[in-house]
Amino acid sequence: MATTKIATSEFIIQPANSSHFQYAKEICIQYAESAKQRGTGIAKRTPEYVIEKMREGKAIIALHRDGRFAGFSYIETWSHGKYVANSGLIINPEFRNKGLGSDVKEAIFELSKQKYPEAKFFGITTSMAVLKMNSDLGYRPVTFSELTQDDEFWKGCNSCPNVDILTRNNRNMCLCTGMLYDPAQNAGKKFDIRKQLAKFERWLRMKQYILLKKFRSDTPFENTNGNSSV
C-alpha cells in the first residue's frame, strides 16, 4: 500500500495534514475510551501532540466517505532515529471488523519505511490482533533487550496498570510481547504467525499467567491493622 491517498469503497486513507487538525480532539477521546474498555495502559495523548504529528507528516488518518473519523496512527522515533514505533493505532468503534485496522497499520508502516529506511521498527502489545498484523508485515517476536533502551520510550509504560511487573523484572519482561522488524534481516521475508497462532496464543496466556501469579505473590497486601504484610 502506498502512502499517497488510498480510496476504497468506504474509506479514504492518507497521510494526515493540516486539514485534519479538526479531528485531533476526537482521536484523543477515543484513545481514552479505548484505555478504559481494555483495562490496559495507553499513554495519554493531547490534541496538541496529535496535531504536531500531523504537522510533521508523521501520521496516517482514515476517514469515512462521509467525512467521519475512522482511524489513525502515527510515527515515533527513539534512540536518535535508530528505532521507529508505529504508535496510537485507533479505529473508530463504528468501523471496526472491516479490516480497516490492517489497512491503517500497513499505511503507517509504509510511511515509516519511506521516512526511516534504515531504522528498526518495533512495538510492544498484549493484543493478538496487533501481533498478527505486525507479523503479516514482517515483524517477529523478540525479547525486550532487542528493543530500544531509550528511557523516554519506557516512561510511556508508567500509565499502564502492569508497570510494576515491568519494573520488578528490570524492564526485561512484562505481559506485553515485543516485536521487531529489522530491514537488514527481513529482506522481504515475513514471519508467518498464522500457522502458529493458536500455539503462540497459548504461550502468551501462559506467560501472562506466570507473571501475574509471581507478581501477586510478591505484592504486599493490606491486613486488618492497615500495615503492609508479605
> Is the pLDDT at 9 greater than 50, yes or no?
yes
Question: What pLDDT is stored for residue 27 in this prediction?
Answer: 96
User: In this model, does residue 194 exceed pLDDT 70?
Assistant: no
Measured between its terminal Cα atoms, the distance across the chain in Å is: 54
Cβ count within 10 A of residue 11: 21
Q: What is the pLDDT of residue 217?
A: 60
Q: Give the model's pLDDT for residue 207.
A: 66
- pLDDT score of 160: 80
Residue 55 has pLDDT above 90, yes or no: yes
Indicate the SS3 state at residue 178: strand
Report the alpha-carbon distance of residue 82 to residue 183 in Å, rounded: 12
- How many helices and strands, by DSSP H and E, does the chain display? 8, 10
147 pLDDT higher than 80: yes
**pLDDT over 50 (residue 223):** no
Q: Is the pLDDT of residue 156 over 70?
A: yes
Q: Are 167 and 218 in contact (CB under 8 A)?
A: no
